[in-house]
Amino acid sequence: MRHIPLAYLLPAVALLLTCALGPAAAAGSRPDTTWVTTFDHDFYNWADPHTQSFAFPSGGLPWGQILLYYRIECPPAPGDCDPWDRLGHLRVVETDSLGAETLYEIARIITPYDITGGNYPGHCEWVLDVSDYVTLLHDTVTLRNYIESWIGGQRGWIVTIRFAFIPGVMPLEPYRVANLYQRDYIVYGDPANPHESYLPPLDVPIDAETVRVKARAICTGHGQGNTDNAAEFARKWHEFLVGTTSYNHILWRNDCAQNDCSPQGGTWYYARAGWCPGDKVDPWDVDITGSVTPGAPATIDYNIEPYENFCRPNNPNCVDGTTCTDCDYNYTGHTEPHFTLQAQLILYREHAPEAVQADPIGRRELGLGPNRPNPFSPTTAFQYEMDAPGTATITIRSADGRLVRQLVQQHRTPGSFSCSWDGTDADGRRLPSGTYFYEVQAAGRTGVRKMVLLK
Q: What is the pLDDT of residues 260-282, one digit of tens each?
A: 898 999 999 999 999 999 999 99
pLDDT at 314 (0 to 100)? 96
End-to-end CA distance of the chain: 26
Tell me how many degrees the CA angle 117-128-70 measures, rounded to the nearest 5. Answer: 40
The SS3 assignment for 196 reads helix
Residue ranges, CATH 2.60.40.4070, the chain: 361-453
Residue type at 424 in one-letter notation: T
What proportion of the chain, given as a percentage, has pLDDT over 70? 89
Task: Name the band, by pLDDT with cuts 50, 70 and 90, for residue 30.
Answer: low
pLDDT (mean) for 438-447? 80
Domain range 361-453, CATH class: mainly beta
For CA atoms 76, 78, 82, 83, give the dihedral sign.
Answer: positive
Task: Say whether pLDDT at 363 is over 70.
Answer: no
Q: Which fold has domain 33-168?
A: Jelly Rolls (2.60.120)
User: 283 Cβ partners below 8 Å, 6+ apart?
Assistant: 216, 217, 218
pLDDT at 362: 39
**pLDDT, tens only, 293-305:** 999 999 999 999 9
Write out pLDDT tens, residues 373-404: 988 888 999 988 888 888 888 989 887 677 88
Reported as a pLDDT band with limits 50, 70 and 90, residue 455 is: confident
State pTM to two decimals: 0.76
Position 24 scores a pLDDT of 40
Phi, psi dihedral angles at 244 (to 5 degrees): -110, 5
The correct CATH number of 171-354 out of 3.40.190.10, 2.60.120.230, 3.40.390.10, 3.40.30.10 is: 2.60.120.230
158: nearest Cα among 204, 122, 198, 196 = 122
Looking at residue 438, its pLDDT comes to 87
pLDDT for the residue numbered 356: 52
Task: Give per-residue pLDDT as tens, 72-89.
Answer: 999 999 999 999 999 999
Give the model's pLDDT for residue 386.
83
For CATH 2.60.120.230, the residue range(s) in the chain are 33-168, 171-354
Which sign, positive or negative, has the C-alpha torsion 14, 16, 22, 26? positive
Please, what sign has the CA dihedral across residues 28, 166, 416, 371? positive
Nearest alpha carbon to residue 66 among 120, 30, 116, 39: 30
Transcribe 294-315 into DSSP letters.
Answer: TTSEEEEEEEE-----SSSTT-
d(CA 450, CA 438): 6
pLDDT at 178 over 50: yes
Express each pLDDT in 239-265 by its tens digit: 999 999 999 999 999 999 998 898 999
Q: At a CB cut-off of 8 Å and minimum separation 6, what does 63 contact?
A: 57, 131, 134, 165, 166, 167, 168, 170, 360
